[in-house]
Amino acid sequence: MASSAPSLKLKPNAASARVLRGHPWVFANEVEALLPLEQDGEVVECRDRTGRFVGSGLYNSKSQIVWRRLSRDRVTLDAAWLRGALGRAIARRSTEAGKSAPGENFRRLVWSESDDLPGVVLDQFGDVLVLQVQTLAMDKRTPLLVELLTELLAPAEIIVRNDANIRRLEGLPLEVHTRSGQPWAPRWTNIGGIDYWLDLQGGQKTGFYLDQREQHTLVARHCAGKRVLDAFCNQGSFALHAAQAGATEVLGIDSAEDAIMAARKNAERNGVKVSFEAANVFDRFNDPASARDKLWDVIVLDPPPFAKSKSALDGALRGYKEINLRAMQRLVPGGVLATYTCSHHMGDAELRGVLAEAAADAKRKVQVLEFCHQPADHPVLVTMPESEYLRGYILRVE
């Protein structure tokens, strides 16, 4: 029996549309016609050119991505469905692979399409949840999401961080508020054995980069008795872990003055000796005076995304090559380079190519010690490349 629900239909020439290959998105130029405005923020069906049902998804005519799949079945985006999706996402993080560490509750609990909740990102910081909502349909249901999270997890507070610029692509305003209506004051929080002064309501993203917490401890294993440079250090996580692991000298560099101030505060709190400098990392590496400085045993490169769009990829590749080349030149023979990219536009092949070119230009023998990736609580959909964004390598540079 045919459904009477509103539906989008793919264009006749859309036989190769990504959604037919498992991707959860449909773009406006892939459909025959848009639906009436009253369907914005609601669940509609998608059908291929023959009328075959493709799935149920979130619709927004204001977005270039007009449809985001919720399910391959017919579903209703009500309390029961949301409770089930949230519950399944939380349960997946309860497995050993999804835990940050035994006894810790600092992790990503919901990762958008990877958890069948398009546009919903949820991070847990102990008894506080930080929620980001980036799609119109989920934004309309934010009060319900907060209610369900309270029911499922009984947090002390839920901070709704709807201040990401990506919301503008959905026609949504930027705003931040808490469930209680009271401001969440910054405070000391211990993550992975390090105390951080966290501003979950006003800091970057959801307040802390939980996706790198496994890498902090992995890199620290190479730092005992070493001189360590943490480039693009942000709040100083790699530097602090290196110092705690017994590094003899640690320097963190970041261009953001507020990040450096936070990093210094964190170092003082943890009683570790780390120097922090507000500087442009590229300028620091290219400065002739700096080039005469001593070499480092370990260098960490964890820059912000150079490729924020596909059109920016060529320039980003040049930037990644330049910074990795300079780092390789500043390492002692046998030194360790931990290098990362957090742009989904830059795949592993591109990153490997950049590192190979940098190694050739530096005339150094470079070996892979570790392949690095986003943690299990940031799951990747194999049919959605955009869900995979963090990758890197730990390298020995001879």
Instruction: Say which residues have a Cβ less than 8 Å from residue 238's Cβ, sequence separation at least 6.
Output: 212, 215, 216, 219, 220, 228, 230, 252, 300, 302, 338
- Please provide residue 282's backbone torsions phi and psi, each rounded to the nearest 5 degrees: -60, -45
Q: How far is CA 133 from CA 19, 32, 39, 143, 160, in A?
A: 23, 28, 19, 11, 8
Give yes or no: 342 in active site.
yes
Going by C-alpha positions, the residue among 43, 25, 50, 124 that lies closest to residue 81 is 43
Check if the beta carbon of residue 299 is closer than 8 Å to that of residue 330.
yes
Check if the beta carbon of residue 262 is closer than 8 Å to that of residue 240.
no
Going by C-alpha positions, the residue among 375, 370, 369 that lies closest to residue 388 is 375
Check if the beta carbon of residue 201 is closer than 8 Å to that of residue 223.
no
Instruction: Say which residues have a Cβ less than 8 Å from residue 82's Cβ, sequence separation at least 6.
Output: 117, 141, 144, 145, 148
- DSSP class of residue 300 equals E
Catalytic residue among 223, 233, 342, 372: 342
Check if the beta carbon of residue 355 is closer than 8 Å to that of residue 339.
yes
63: exposed, middle or buried (Cβ count in 10 Å: 0-12, 13-18, 19+): buried
Q: How far is CA 325 from CA 219, 317, 331, 345, in A?
A: 20, 12, 10, 21
Q: Name the strand (E) or helix (H) holding 367.
A: strand 366-373
CA 144 to chain centroid: 25
Catalogue the active-site residues: 342
